A and B are shown apart, each in its own frame.
Chain A
Amino acid sequence: MLKKDQNGKIRYSVQLTFFIIYFLFIALMTGLLNTYPTISSRDAVFSTKQSMMLSQATVMASSLSALESLSGENVTQVMELVDINSFDRVIVTDANAMTLYDTTQTSGSLGRYALFSEIVGALRGQVQFFCSYDGSSFRSRAASPVVSAGEIIGCVYLYEYDGIQAAYIMDIQARLRSISIIAALLALLAVYVFTKALTGRITDLVRAMRIVREGNYDYRISPRGRDEVTELAQEFNDMTQRLQSTEELRRRFVSDASHELRTPLASIRLLSDSIAQSENMDEGTMREFVGDIGTEAERLQRMTEKLMRLTRMDSSVQTQRERVDIKRVAEKTVHMLTPLAQARNITIFSELDEGCIVTASQDDVHQIIFNLAENALKYNSFGGNVFLRLHAAEGTVKLTVEDTGIGIPEEDLPHIFSRFYRVDKARSSDVGGSGLGLAIVKGAVEQNGGTIAAQRRETVGTRFVVSFPAAGEEAEYDEA
């Protein structure tokens, strides 16, 4: 039950801890069970004996109090009429504690002074009682003064030895002890079985964690029972499932990133090799090749920047948030994209309400609007339209970006925010797309507490809806 961890320190097992706690508890209970009834019984016997013996002593004293003075003869006559058989010794003394009557006359006590504490106390005017229990018997003593005409003329002393009551209590004690031992053993056995079962399941869980830690994300444990440990096992399985999904995403992302980066690099290499290996390349061709190298390099640069941005989002680095007027940002963005729109003869329609303030990063908001608006222009038909609407209602600021372009097939809509996902690779490559723009938009929206959704327009094109909580009414953010 005791093991050592990696640092050599003793590690206590749950089973041992439970076992010790239960053992101590059971020991305490059995101790109480064995002592309290015995003590109560003993006290009850004490009380009974006190009342019985004192009343008997008082009765005898009352019988003797009719005598004016006590002598051996008259005391004996009176005591013959009284029931003294239940006592092991009965002594009657005069006022000086001299023994006048003694049921155990063989001791030679007649005529001697009985200097017992009870007799002295009774001759001083107080009834006395004392009882002791030594495990095998109750030994009780009582004394009462004999009063005649207001004067103490003697004393009655009683002594009783009772082994029967003691034997009864010892019998109860022995039975309780037996019951306690059996109950304790059964309880300990149950504790052992229970803790073994509990720690067994926990051990299985620990073993599963070690397997998953080594990289085997397929491993699952079978939850048994319906308690907290079962819940823990289920949560472990869920977490492992997520780990597995995340790992797959990571692998795919690395694979996709490698592939995307490799393509422009391969182009650059091919073009540079062509230039290097061609001895008589004409200047125009060379300029063309160098231009292509520059284009690919730009694409590589853009992709790298987007990857870095995504990495920053993944590491949850918090950017500074402030109150941002989305209308102002949108107007600036539209102004920046106007040359692109004019080049493709696309008209941008803006309906931007005042007072659409959110708490977000200024840069992120610009990125979001820019990416969505740029996509709306890039993937639009020549002479098409782009609609930009901004409204605030019921504590939410909603930005809608619509285009009249080629649209996104329904089956692709759930995936368009995934990294490197492109609906039409050929077309997106033509317009310089890398498949990361919408992933960046989604990341930026969610990091600033908003949501984003993509829909097909009822006629043609695509609609993107971004919602943010209005500034001053948003819920608390979790600080990473």
Chain B
Amino acid sequence: MRLKRLVTLYAAAVLLALLSGCLLRSGASDGGGVYVYRLRTLHSGDDNRALYAQLVLPSEGESAEDCLVRCLNSEQGSETVERVFPEDIKLLSCRIENGRAQADMSPEYNRLNGVERVLCDYALVYTFYRLDEVTAVDINCEGKTVQTGLRADFAELADAQYGPCERIIKLFVPDGRGENLVSRSFVSAQSTGSAAEAAARQLLLSLDEVPDATSLVSVSVSDGLCVLNLSEEFYTTEPESIHTSRLVISSFVDTLCFLPEVERVVIQVGGRPINSYGSCITSWPMEFDGSLISYDGG
């Protein structure tokens, strides 16, 4: 009886851990919670991150943005993390417009320089970039834009050689109506492969329009050119319409081209570039388009 109870508890713990892992990989929020990046004070052998994500839950009726503003400004720390902004600096407000997070800082922000400024900036960037609808962060101070188009890709949180390091990847996937592409955040552990490979694998899981049996044969990035090779099963299901074809192709291309190291994409099936997909004629290589991306949430 006791053994049975122990086994049940263990199974529940494993399930909970798996569930947590899945939620983590979804990136944006966990059960309604959001991630705030703070300055790490206690270093361990696991990794050498200077900024560390903490999961927080918005209060009742509080929006995600307001919660993040509150938590970023909070003096409350713990044994492992503390507030990243120096004492007299505050994040006044934040709003999201057309996929960009506008962070308004207090006037004292302009006095920051060097690594302290970079830490503040990227604490903001990683915090807001983790939201699904945010693809870039602008930092404003005293009505002027100080930093624009900041992305999490512009920094390394930790040495990937040392251990797993999370990387926030933006996926552009069809919305629920199948009309446009919307952005979604996906957090990958970099040691599992290149960002392009992680993005491609996640897209295969996320795209309902792609046959489930489709697998990733290979991904390579060289001199800005990304070659994505899919298995033959990609052709087993015809897309419903030309628009669907365009959505699927654009999803792959825009997602991969959004990575800093990728400028152009070639999609192959069975090692050969696809000439058409459904009724959509393709020519390679393709670059970032973005015309199908909608930033209104989808």
Contacts and interface: CB of A to CB of B under 8 A. Distances in A.
A132 interface: yes
A113 B122 contact: yes
Interface stretch (A102-110, A170-178, A410-418, A428-436): A102-110
A117 B161 contact: no
A112 B48 contact: no
B40 interface: yes
B26 to A, nearest CB: 23
Given A107-B160, A112-B156, A96 B118 contact: yes
Interface stretch (A118-126, A242-250, A291-299): A118-126
Contacts of B115: 95-97, 119-120, 123-124
A117 B156 contact: no
Contact of A112 (B43, B49, B155): B155
Contacts of B48: 116-118, 130, 141
Given A108-B260, A115-B49, A141 B162 contact: yes
Interface in A105-155: 107-109, 112-120, 123-124, 130, 132, 134, 139, 141, 152
Interface string B195-216: 0000000000000000000000
Given A107-B160, A130-B43, A115 B118 contact: yes
Interface in B114-133: 114-115, 117-119, 122
B50 interface: yes
A159 interface: yes
B118 A113 contact: yes
A152 B157 CA distance: 22
A285 B230 CA distance: 149
A344 interface: no
Of the four ranges (under 10, 10 to 19, 20 to 34, 35 or more), the interface on chain B belongs to 20 to 34
Contacts of A114: 155-156, 159
Interface residues of A, number: 30
A36 B119 CA distance: 41
A474 interface: no
Contacts of B118: 96-98, 113, 115
B51 interface: yes
A115 B115 CA distance: 9
A134 B50 contact: no
A113 B121 CA distance: 11
B119 A108 contact: no
Contacts of A120: 50, 115, 119
A89 interface: yes
B51 A115 contact: yes
B30 interface: no
* Residue of A104, A107, A113 with highest tally of chain B CB at under 10 A: A113
Nearest to B163: A139
Contacts of B160: 107
Nearest to A91: B159
A89 B161 contact: yes
A354 interface: no
A464 interface: no
Given A120-B50, A134-B45, A161 B119 contact: no
Contacts of A152: 114
A166 B148 CA distance: 47
A116 B159 contact: yes
Nearest to A133: B45
A262 to B, nearest CB: 78
Given A112-B156, A116-B158, 5 more contacts: A96-B117, A112-B154, A114-B159, A115-B158, A118-B48
Interface of B: 40, 43, 45, 48-51, 114-115, 117-119, 122, 153-162, 260-261
27 contacts: A89-B159, A95-B115, A96-B117, A108-B260, A108-B261, A112-B153, A112-B154, A112-B156, A113-B122, A113-B154, A114-B156, A115-B50, A115-B122, A115-B155, A116-B48, A116-B158, A118-B48, A119-B50, A119-B115, A120-B115, A123-B115, A124-B115, A130-B48, A132-B45, A141-B48, A152-B114, A161-B161
Interface of A: 88-89, 95-99, 104, 107-109, 112-120, 123-124, 130, 132, 134, 139, 141, 152, 159, 161
